[in-house]
Amino acid sequence: MHVTEALEERLHGSCRCRVRDVACTCGCVVGYHVILPCRSKPQGTAVRREKEASLAICRFCCPGVVHPPDASSEVLSRLVSCRQHLLIGARLTSRNLQSNSLAQALFTSYALNLLGGAAWTASGVYVHLFEPLPQEPTIAWQIFLNMGATTPFLFPLVVRDAFYRDSMSSSAARLQDVSAAICALLYALLVWGSFDLAAGRKLPPIAVSPWHTIDGRSYAGAAFGVKFDLLSSMPSARSDSEFVLSGLFMASNALSAMLLLNVCYNRVKARVL
């Protein structure tokens, strides 16, 4: 890009930031790269803007590069080329920073999703080995449910970060993150409270195929005389049952599928038009 960055760092001068000078190949120093933002109070508007955009770490001053009245045509052409390269460099820097930020958001949400899934699997192994048909919630069972709920709450955010994050504001994304966290806390309270969501009423049978319905019995424990358990009794109105967690998965899958279908529709529409 015909722009080079100095190897030596220096103090900014107006604050304690450490910067590296950026120069055009013609030799003009036309900006700087903030290596380490300081924590001191900014002095003046320019430095304050620099603090607020410390992640947009390249500051260019090419509009202030002027030529002397008696400059030769060679010098003028150098300055024009310098300005053009710097403007291109500034745009590319902004795009790269935005791309890195979006990639980091996607990596974070997907990594949390995978971590929660791994914890759910590990806790599920323990439950199936040592508490196979829990009829009352234990600590291991509550951990199993809460770890299992990470995917229903996080996967729509993964889809958002992968396909929608570049077209939405940071405040809107933050609001969605907070909403997902609040829903996760509410579910954790439901698991902890073991509430009867049907208020004592028996849920009607649910047809899962033309040949079979689930009627609330303990499908895994019926052969052993168990009438109800939190794992295999379906449908179940207990807030700490596997059936309620399965409902969360279905709702999350439906939301994620709608988001993905909307992406596909918009891309096909853009190609057709």
Residue with tokens 């900006």: 31
Least confident of 29-43, 53-67, 144-158: 53-67
**What are the φ and ψ backbone dihedral angles of 152, each rounded to 5 degrees?**
-60, -35
- Mean residue pLDDT across the chain: 81
Average pLDDT rounded to a whole number, residues 50-73:
49
Rounded percentage of the chain residues whose pLDDT exceeds 90: 48
The tokens describing 57, both together, are 């770490």
The first and second tokens of residue 193, run together, are 């409270």
Specify the pLDDT at position 5. Answer: 78
pLDDT tier at 64, thresholds 50, 70, 90: very low
Structure confidence at residue 52 as a pLDDT band (50, 70, 90): very low
Instruction: For the chain, give the percent of residues with pLDDT over 70.
Output: 75
Both tokens of 87, joined, read 């403007």
**SS3 category, 260:** helix
Q: What is the pLDDT of residues 100-143, one digit of tens each?
A: 677 888 888 999 999 999 999 999 999 999 998 999 999 999 99
Q: The tokens of 23 are what? A: 């120069």
* Residues 129 and 144 sit within 8 Å (Cβ to Cβ): no
C-alpha angle 245/202/196, rounded to 5°?
50
Task: Label residue 181 by pLDDT band (50, 70, 90).
Answer: very high
